[in-house]
Chain A
Amino acid sequence: MNAWPVVGDLGLEPMAWLPGLAPLWPLLLAAALVPAALRAPVLRLAPWAALPALLIAVLAPQTLQPLPWLLLGTTLQLDDAGRWLLAALSLLWLAAGWIVAERLRSPRRAAGFLVAMSGGLWLPLTGDLPSALAASTLAAYPLYGLLAGLHGGRVLLVSVVIADLLILEALLLLAKDGAGLDFASLRAALAQTHERNFLLALVLIGFGAKAGAMGLHYWLASAVAGARAWLLAPLVGFVTAAGALFWLRLLPLGDVQWPAVAALMQWLALAGGGWAVLAGLLQATPRASLAYALSALTMLWLGLLGLSLGRSAEAAAGMSAVFPPALALTGLAMASALLGSLAPARAARAVLVPLSALLISVTALAAALLAGAGAGDARWLVLGAIACVGVLLGASAVAAVRVDGASEANRETLAAAALLAAGCVMAAFASPALSPMLASLDEWRLDSVAALPAALLAGLVGGAIAGLASAWLPRAPAGDLLVALERTVSLLVAAWERFGAALERRRDRLYRSAGQARVVVARNHPASAIEALLRRWSTATLLLLLAAAAAALLLASPS
């Protein structure tokens, strides 16, 4: 399925390496910041560095370009999934660039901006897991730098380090029997391995940490709540491209049917959604609530992917087709909601945030419907998960309207509107592509089609009511359990340091005792005493006699 008008379709010669320009261009601009002569023009170009990526997403043909000399032998690919995500990411970075353009005058900040952008834009173009890890590194570490040492940034970094180690372990276990490192080979290896459950856990946790999945979400709310406005869009982009996309890339949807795993993933989706609602409703700012909505959305994707693991190849193919545009659309709409919540005018917030929430809701609903979530025995799990997303979106929309806006945030407002518009355009592009699947809608039973919108609507209304009542609710810190976790860790570290100090004191005492013993020994001259003993005639005679006896015994022995 290819919903995009591409140059290749027009009969032009495709250039396999062209997608590589998307991540390379910002990287080249970052390098060009070094010579002073180029610095001024580069700083002017930096905010728009994602423009070539957008053009590539729209115009470039599908490609699969092996790069055997790079890293462990990598592949650059532009497939349908990558195209949707590349388009969304480039729009998000363009929005960020436009907001920050005036403040992007520091070469260091610009370098961080460009390198993070490069990593972000590389993510959807990776054709293998090692380059996905490299792209994630390139995106995440500068992002941490751009978060300027925020608490959420630090937690992001720790999460990324741990997540990458888990992913690396999964990759090694998958590759040990000679499987290739490209996603198709890894999917096949995952489908056949006897260590399936362990590997699935590594993949789900590893990418879930980057996607802000509940239980691994601690960095997200904290980072979103504290980040500068212009960073909100790239943060959403990172969550979208570095996490859930790779679940889709790696899970062997359609190749296997793992009902137990599928059920577990749906249960996790429901439990995570519930947790997100509990923590999200207690947040002090709409931004933090929306971050929890993003986490709830990730859990919904997890549930839908789980659903596909228990279904036929045809149903799984449907999910693979629906998932990337849904990810891209919700990413754009979520960034729009976050930026819109900062609009100074209440009217603007009242339009932008609910409309963005609506776009997210409709997209999530469509994805769930097309993935077949309305039918089946366990459908209520997904119904619950989608209701949780609705609750958080409803509550965030109401909260965004009720709170006071920022004093000066015109660019953020316009960027939010632009992203919302882009989302709508993208939805229009996506509709024809998904129409073959919609054609089968008339075969569905009414209750299975109606259940999902009903659950979502109930969630939205419930969330809106909760949002209105939020003044009476207690407040929880962004990152909820992280706070308790950090306190525990700091207590453990303090205990360890006390233990170390006690050990050192004991060691010092031991050294002192050893020193005193040495002094006592030296004072008593035991060696001199032994020598004096040996010098005596009686001792010498005794030793000689002993030696003679030993010699006699040896000589007398039969051997």
Chain B
Amino acid sequence: MIPLFDTSVPPDAVLPPDAVLPLLVLASSLVPGLVIFFLGEERVRTRTLLNLGGALTKLALVGWMFRGVYEGQRYEARLPLLDGLDLVLRVGSLSLLFLVLSAGLWLVTTVYAVGYLERSPNRSRFFGFFSLCVTATVGVAMSGNLLTFILFFELLTLTTYPLVVHRGTEAARRAGLAYLAHTVFAGVMLLAGTVWLYTLTGTLTFAPRGFVSEIADTHRGPLIAIFALLIAGVGVKAALVPLHGWLPLAMVAPAPVSALLHAVAVVKAGAFGIVLIVYDVFGVEQAAELGLTGPLAAVAAVTIIYGSLRALFQDDLKRRLAFSTVSQVSYIVLGVAIVGPLASVGGIVHLVHQGIMKITLFFCAGNLAETLGIHKVSEMNGVGRRMPWTMGAFSIAALGMIGVPPIAGFVSKWYLGLGALEAGVHWPLYVLTLSSLLNAAYFLPILHAAWFCEPTTQWPAAGSGTGTENGKPIGDSGRWLRPETGWLLLLPPLVTAALSLLIGLFASSPFSPLEWSLLIAEREFHYP
């Protein structure tokens, strides 16, 4: 088995086909994206074919690498960029986890987006940027050094902005402006931190225990400042409080974009960036020695509680979900900042679990808005009878977010809690408990309203538009899975909800996200 960061292996030892694979992964969304820009609006079939073809190709390529990485294979592509600084794409177990998440969820989001935007204008523009956005995300995932990371991270900003403002409304433009202001500011911080770091270390290449240890004694102050700059740079996308302001505003974007922002691309890229900075730039032990992980954990804890408290009082469904994301993504940061193998496993596995559960929630929110025009929690009374499958999926994901076993969220919280105790700190356990309680407080009333309250509106019935069938609610009509909305809108949340349940139920099975996270901790985190 070749260690991922074995510096004794010269670069030319990497087999050429293995170097091509990361490039092909990038190309599988880049090329379709570029082609789609030039397609006319009426070329629906070609566009769909390109989208799905690209998504399936990416998934197949990632699947190929999955096997290789499991067996210890290293995939690395290196392109000269600046003097002494290459653009490095490297796939190890950690990056592969994020790749699988991105590629898998891109496929379902593409299916969903095709259904969601069936009759919308500017679909070529949308899907073009959609593909570029995923290209940037997988680029972030495969980054082998900080420069490559910044390039793709900023590309992500530029490709998601058009998606946020896609509707072209005043609210969308305002949200886009806020998004751009936050992320450009963050980009400047990130760049400043990176340049400063490069001047001190002369390298930006990610390494298993970081690459700052040699200057840690002599440049303690600057390193602390650099860490703050880098975390602020990625913390905007990770929606750390108080840098989270753009996220609830960005909820004006179409549902597939919200799903992409919250579960696959932007927020996850931010959280992933924090993981890289702590582990591969500073090294977790060095970061702890510099006293950096404590404040980071404190910020994460504040974000977790603040996000949950804010979510509690939102009537707008997507805003509630957005604040829930603010809270939940910081579980990942908390897991990293606790400094311990089990907590890291909890944080890393939550990257996947939160992504799958949150995308389900956004798909369902999109279905409610698209099918029945429901945007607010107060409008959801009785909607479970009209859209039982959508609300069934929503319920599973919401319960998972609370941490109810056997759904995926339980596994994350288990490892985070156990990791905190293993590291000898108890307070994260109380933060997690309080957060779970708050999660229940803002999710359970939604489920109660949807399933047990009488509808206050007469919605058009599925398919027929009559509202009832033989005097019975549609859910009890006795027919085989009568679609309550379009199939393309219904299938993705059902698939991701089932996945949320299965990866929790079979968490200890081989190749589950949990088992893969344990593999990452063993191979890449190098705890003493």
Contacts and interface: CB of A to CB of B under 8 A. Distances in A.
Interface of A: 34-37, 39, 68-73, 106-108, 130, 133-134, 137, 141, 145, 148-149, 154, 157-158, 161-162, 164-165, 168-169, 172-173, 175-176, 500
Contact of A108 (B411, B444, B475, B505): B475
Contact of B440 (A71, A130, A161): A161
Given A71-B406, A72-B508, A107-B478, 5 more contacts: A34-B481, A36-B479, A71-B508, A165-B437, A173-B421
Contact of B452 (A34, A37, A137, A148): A148
Nearest to B515: A69
Contacts of B422: 176
B142 to A, nearest CB: 30
Nearest to B421: A176
B504 interface: yes
A148 to B, nearest CB: 6
B478 A72 contact: no
A72 B411 contact: yes
A176 B505 CA distance: 22
A34 B481 CA distance: 7
Nearest to B430: A169
A206 to B, nearest CB: 12
B459 interface: no
Contact of A137 (B405, B411, B479): B405
B475 A157 contact: no
B417 interface: yes
B433 A164 contact: no
B421 A141 contact: no
A157 B476 contact: no
Contact of A68 (B404, B421, B453, B508): B508
A72 B410 CA distance: 10
B151 interface: no
Given A106-B476, A134-B405, A70 B453 contact: no
Nearest to A496: B313
A428 to B, nearest CB: 38
A262 to B, nearest CB: 28
A141 B414 CA distance: 20
Contact of A149 (B410, B433, B448): B448
B397 interface: no
A177 B510 CA distance: 25
A175 B415 CA distance: 11
A71 B422 CA distance: 20
Contacts of B378: none
Closest 9 A-B residue pairs measured CB to CB? A149-B452, A176-B421, A36-B480, A134-B405, A134-B406, A69-B509, A172-B417, A161-B440, A133-B405
8 contacts: A70-B506, A71-B508, A73-B508, A106-B476, A108-B388, A108-B476, A149-B452, A161-B436
B516 interface: no
A71 B505 contact: yes
Contacts of B410: 133
Nearest to A39: B478
A158 B504 CA distance: 23
Interface in B496-523: 504-510
A39 B510 CA distance: 35
B392 to A, nearest CB: 10
Contact of B414 (A72, A154, A164): A72
A230 to B, nearest CB: 18
Given A106-B476, A172-B417, A176-B421, A71 B507 contact: yes
B453 A172 contact: no
Interface string B378-409: 00000000001000000000010011111000
A82 to B, nearest CB: 19
B429 interface: yes
Contact of A72 (B440, B479, B481, B507): B507
Contact of B506 (A69, A145, A172): A69
B429 A172 contact: yes
Interface of B: 313, 388, 399, 402-406, 410-411, 413-414, 417-418, 421-422, 429, 433, 436-437, 440, 444, 448, 451-453, 475-476, 478-481, 504-510
Which residue of B399, B403, B414, B509 has the most chain A CB atoms within 10 A of its CB atom?
B414
A208 to B, nearest CB: 18
Given A36-B480, A71-B508, A133-B405, A141 B433 contact: no
A72 B414 CA distance: 9
A137 B440 CA distance: 13
B136 to A, nearest CB: 35
Contacts of A70: 505-506, 508
Nearest to B342: A176
Contacts of B433: 165, 168-169
A486 to B, nearest CB: 15
B494 to A, nearest CB: 11
A149 B452 CA distance: 6
A25 to B, nearest CB: 18
B444 A157 contact: yes
B437 A176 contact: no
Contacts of A157: 444
A73 B514 CA distance: 12
Nearest to A36: B480
A157 B406 CA distance: 17
Contact of A161 (B402, B421, B507): B402
Contact of B480 (A35, A108, A165, A172): A35
A108 B403 CA distance: 24
B419 to A, nearest CB: 10
B508 A176 contact: no
Contacts of B479: 36
Contacts of B313: 500
Nearest to A150: B452
A69 B421 contact: no
A149 B384 CA distance: 13
Nearest to B473: A108
A68 B475 CA distance: 37
Nearest to B434: A165
Nearest to B436: A165
A500 B429 CA distance: 29
Contact of B444 (A130, A161, A164, A165): A161
Contacts of A162: 437
Nearest to B510: A69
Given A137-B405, A149-B448, A165-B436, A107 B506 contact: no
Nearest to B440: A161
Nearest to A166: B433
B484 to A, nearest CB: 14
Contacts of A149: 448, 451-453
Nearest to A69: B509
A141 B440 contact: no
A172 B475 CA distance: 40
Nearest to B413: A168
A500 B418 CA distance: 36
Contact of B508 (A69, A158, A169): A69
A424 B478 CA distance: 42
A107 B479 CA distance: 11
Contacts of B506: 69-70
Contacts of A145: 451-452
A71 B414 CA distance: 11
Which residue of A72, A137, A149 has the most chain B CB atoms within 10 A of its CB atom?
A72
Contacts of A69: 506, 508-510
Nearest to B415: A72
Contacts of B440: 158, 161
Nearest to A148: B452
A72 B480 CA distance: 35
A148 B451 CA distance: 9
A69 to B, nearest CB: 4
Contacts of B476: 106-108
Contacts of B437: 161-162, 165
A71 B413 CA distance: 13
Contact of B405 (A37, A71, A172): A71
Nearest to A73: B508
Nearest to A137: B404
